[in-house]
Structure 1
Amino acid sequence: MIVVREYDWSRDLAGVEDVERRCEVGPSGKLSLFTDLLGDPLCRIRHSPSFIMLVAEMGTEKKEIVGMIRGCIKTVTCGIKLDSNHKPQNDTVKPLYTKLAYVLGLRVSPSHRRQGIGLKLVKMMEEWFRQNGAEYSYIATENDNQASVNLFTGKCGYSEFRKPSILVNPVYAHRVNLSRRVTVIKLDPVDAESLYRLRFSTNEFFPRDIDSVLNNELSLGTFVAVPRGSCYGSGSGAWPGSAKFLEYPPESWAVLSVWNCKDSFRLEVRGASRLKRVVAKTTRVVDKTLPFLKLPSIPSVFKPFGLHFMYGIGGEGPQAAKMVKSLCGHAHNLAKDGGCSVLATEVAGEEPLRRGIPHWKVLSCDEDLWCIKRLGEDYSDGAVGDWTNSPPGASIFVDPREF
């Protein structure tokens, strides 16, 4: 008999960690990635406004954890408010919010699969979502993970919704040189919040509680890149505040924020041959010995490693992609100083600024798959209708708390 109940740290931790160890995650056909949650199975959801973890338990006398699922709820942008003529209200584009639930971390012990445990966990999680007022639920899975896709689209009623790209770049042993034509400015959380709300709050999936994200201890800062010759790139004290900056912006500019995933979870690449390990180590030795050559090197990913995540990427102007490249270089150096092995981000498949984001194709995923389901009637202010049928936009806002 299978019982699904809420996770209890005092008695379930060992069982949950055992299932995690036996469930490798990562794109099939590539090297397997094992996730280490640093002794806290809730670490990937506890920073959300509302969250829960459920476990599936089997047995009568000797009970065994055979599966688990995590979920969280937040309010995000799902469109823009329109009047009866399908035009922005009062000629001003304003975000339309909805309460969205996210399913992540679904695991079933390999020895107990094909017994309906995953389906039961998802159904129980969706019931909790409904009880807490969520209007939609979505999941992210690898595009070629057929078992996961079949479960959610075939049995749970989800539909394919968005196909963003996960872009991953290694952190080299040398520091990346930044363009001398670009100035990078670090914003305080108040200014960062103002910038995002004023310019990016209508992006799909933008979190209404962006202030909580930017003020979180895992957020390492928000950075703006501007041309060095502009009035904002002339040195310290030149930043006028986000509102003034957006009123009189330079010809081109870009922004991104950095999130410290290293303190939440670690990854480990498994299944690599001895030859690949030797080649990777050789590149690191050469890079450390001759850093002035700026040779790309493969970090040590065959033991637990950490990563930094870049989010809130945006910008404007003909040189915006180059500005993003400078910000990614700055983020790379932060990751190097922080002892991380990779730098990652996730953007819409049609994101125009992605060409400025350095990444290795072998480490990246061109099509991550997001599936969505409508849980009930849409109670949003100025109803958008059924969000699941809306066409994709050029950009999305990926919440770092859910990566």
Structure 2
Amino acid sequence: MSTVVPVPATAEDGWPAVAVREFDAAADLAAVERLERACEVGPSSGKLCLFTDLLGDPLCRVRHSPAYLMLVAEAPAGGDIVGVVRGCVKTVACGRFCSSSKVAYLLGLRVAPAHRRRGVGRGLVARMEDWFRQAGAHYAYLATDRDNEPCVRLFTARCGYAKFRAPSLLVHPVFRHDLANHPPHPAIAVLRVPPRDAERLYRARFSGVEFFPTDIDAVLANPLSLGTFLAVPAAAAAAEWRGADAFLAAPPPSWAVASVWNCKDAFRLEVRGAPRLWRALARATRAADRALSRLRILRVPSVPNLFEPFGMHFLYGLGGDGPAAPAMARALCRHAHDLARRAGARVVATELAESDPIISGVPHWPRLGAQDLWCIKRLADGYGDGALGDWTKAPPGDSIFVDPREF
């Protein structure tokens, strides 16, 4: 069960005249929703995630983590909410640096436009870091768009964070027709893996991957997790499934695994600021797809309506092994597309390290995606000294695990 650790209301200590306190759902919900609407999220070039609607639950992106907190900044005059930030704490793998570490994730920092460049954001981050330390976190990290220069500058130049990893956000629109069998790929089969076997498979496959959560069992058991799927050669699928241990003892030459997370029941997205030409072209693709599909002539890769609030599915834990792993990953992505189409989601997204060899098999539209930047800060001065060194200076590996609870 997630734990909310209360933080007492505090006045500023060298920060501007705002009070930072814990979010109170009964008193602050309407004000926080107004603040969220006033703050555009993401780039202004028509990319994904320009605006996020949290469906009336400001805590939805952290409440599934083991420990979480949301803070608000309150102006003394009138008591208006002028800033908000969220954070959570968990234990993750640190790749080649060490086996695991307790880390904190910082997200959802918003400051009212009229109160920006006054230190409100720094004050919120500092108070959240105090809670991170109280919760025993050794490091804090955050993710932002690489092109979001004001955010990158705030954290790297003023808050003491360092640029750490640069994964790629890959996004594919959901068409009006299925993709799994168009064209058919008889050499690959996709199997649904029971949750316990999925946990065993992930711990065997990802235990050494950076940011892999040690509570992967809780992630897989979450109601928003729609299932784990395994792509294998069709010949291997013909044999009876005997569990993850048997599979790992004698795996096929190539395979891939992934799970699906239902973001559409947690928040909605909307692309804003897109030129009229883009909107017209998107409508034209949908009209052509409808017409040609009725005539059974051709299926057009139509662009769904992304210019009003829509839902998304997120593909997490995507990985595999063998020379044909990218092809296996493509089969999983097509299967995830079809699940999203039936559920009413309009895009499927995943995030992978730039050097991950499986990335070549992931279908995506570059215009909808982004190049992310993860920044990290060491919180506990005494942790990791000696032989282990400092994780913030560790070189990246080929893979990274993106926790869907924090996407």
TM-score (norm 2): 0.91
Mapped partners of 2:210, 2:387: distance in 1: 15
Mapped partners of 1:174, 1:304: distance in 2: 21
For residues 324-363 of structure 1, the aligned pairs below 5 Å read: 324-363=329-368
Quick one: which of 213, 220, 234 aligns to 2:238? 234
SS of 2:366's equivalent in the other structure is coil
For residues 176-215 of structure 1, the aligned pairs below 5 Å read: 176-178=179-181, 179-215=185-221
For 1:92, the equivalent position in structure 2 comes to none
Mapped partners of 1:188, 1:382: distance in 2: 42
Q: CA deviation at 1:211?
A: 0.1
Change (3 A) 1:383 1:125: farther
Matched, 1:140 2:129: no
SS of 1:154's equivalent in the other structure is helix
Say whether the 8 Å CA contact 2:289–2:299 is kept in structure 1.
yes
Say whether the 8 Å CA contact 1:96–1:382 is kept in structure 2.
no
The gaps in structure 1 that reach 5 residues or longer are: 82-94
SS of 1:283's equivalent in the other structure is helix
For 1:98, the equivalent position in structure 2 comes to 101
Q: CA deviation at 1:343?
A: 0.4
Q: CA deviation at 1:382?
A: 10
Matched, 1:112 2:129: no
Matched, 1:386 2:397: no
The gaps in structure 2 that reach 5 residues or longer are: 1-16
Change (3 A) 1:288 1:383: farther
For 1:89, the equivalent position in structure 2 comes to none
Say whether the 8 Å CA contact 1:254–1:323 is kept in structure 2.
yes
Change (3 A) 1:115 1:77: same
Quick one: which of 209, 213, 220 aligns to 2:226? 220
User: Which amino acid letter does the alignment assign opposite residue 385 of structure 1?
Assistant: G
For 2:12, the equivalent position in structure 1 comes to none
Pairwise CA RMSD: 1.6
Mapped partners of 1:135, 1:270: distance in 2: 37
Q: CA deviation at 1:214?
A: 0.3
Say whether the 8 Å CA contact 2:180–2:338 is kept in structure 1.
no
Change (3 A) 1:382 1:339: farther
For 1:264, the equivalent position in structure 2 comes to 266
Higher mean C-alpha displacement, 268-277 vs 140-149: 268-277
User: Which amino acid letter does the alignment assign opposite residue 168 of structure 1?
Assistant: V
For 2:11, the equivalent position in structure 1 comes to none
For 1:59, the equivalent position in structure 2 comes to 76
For 2:14, the equivalent position in structure 1 comes to none
Matched, 1:163 2:163: no
Mapped partners of 1:381, 1:66: distance in 2: 39
Q: CA deviation at 1:47?
A: 0.2
Say whether the 8 Å CA contact 2:225–2:260 is kept in structure 1.
yes
Say whether the 8 Å CA contact 2:94–2:100 is kept in structure 1.
yes
For 1:88, the equivalent position in structure 2 comes to none
Say whether the 8 Å CA contact 1:98–1:380 is kept in structure 2.
no
Matched, 1:68 2:84: yes
Mapped partners of 2:216, 2:54: distance in 1: 24
Say whether the 8 Å CA contact 1:76–1:98 is kept in structure 2.
yes
For 1:47, the equivalent position in structure 2 comes to 64
Quick one: which of 15, 18, 23 aligns to 1:2? 18
TM-score (norm 1): 0.92
For 1:23, the equivalent position in structure 2 comes to 39
Per-residue CA deviations over 1:134-191 (Å, capped at 9, x if unaligned) read 0000011111111111111001110000000000000001111332211111011100
Per-residue CA deviations over 1:232-269 (Å, capped at 9, x if unaligned) read x116xx11111110110111111001100001100111
Q: CA deviation at 1:30?
A: 3.9
Mapped partners of 1:316, 1:272: distance in 2: 39
Mapped partners of 2:18, 2:385: distance in 1: 40
Say whether the 8 Å CA contact 2:326–2:359 is kept in structure 1.
yes
Mapped partners of 2:213, 2:252: distance in 1: 27
User: Which amino acid letter does the alignment assign opposite residue 55 of structure 1?
Assistant: V
User: Which amino acid letter does the alignment assign opposite residue 373 of structure 1?
Assistant: K
Quick one: which of 370, 373, 376 aligns to 1:372? 376
Say whether the 8 Å CA contact 1:51–1:71 is kept in structure 2.
yes
For 1:277, the equivalent position in structure 2 comes to 279
Mapped partners of 1:222, 1:383: distance in 2: 38
Q: CA deviation at 1:99?
A: 0.2
Q: CA deviation at 1:381?
A: 12
Per-residue CA deviations over 1:17-44 (Å, capped at 9, x if unaligned) read 0010011112344447110000000000
Mapped partners of 2:312, 2:387: distance in 1: 38
For 1:175, the equivalent position in structure 2 comes to 178
Mapped partners of 1:363, 1:352: distance in 2: 21
Change (3 A) 1:79 1:384: farther
Per-residue CA deviations over 1:298-346 (Å, capped at 9, x if unaligned) read 1111110000000101111111110100000000000000101100000
For 1:151, the equivalent position in structure 2 comes to 154
Size of the aligned set, in residue pairs, is 384
Q: Following TM superposition, where does structure 1 have runs of at least 4 consecutive aligned residues deviating by more than 6 angstroms?
A: 380-383
Mapped partners of 1:229, 1:331: distance in 2: 22
Q: CA deviation at 1:80?
A: 4.7
Mapped partners of 1:397, 1:30: distance in 2: 27
Change (3 A) 1:272 1:79: closer
User: Which amino acid letter does the alignment assign opposite residue 301 of structure 2?
Assistant: P
Between the two proteins, what is the percent identity of the paired residues? 58
Per-residue CA deviations over 1:55-76 (Å, capped at 9, x if unaligned) read 001034x210111000000000
Per-residue CA deviations over 1:255-296 (Å, capped at 9, x if unaligned) read 001100001100111122333222211211222333352311
User: Which amino acid letter does the alignment assign opposite residue 204 of structure 2?
Assistant: L
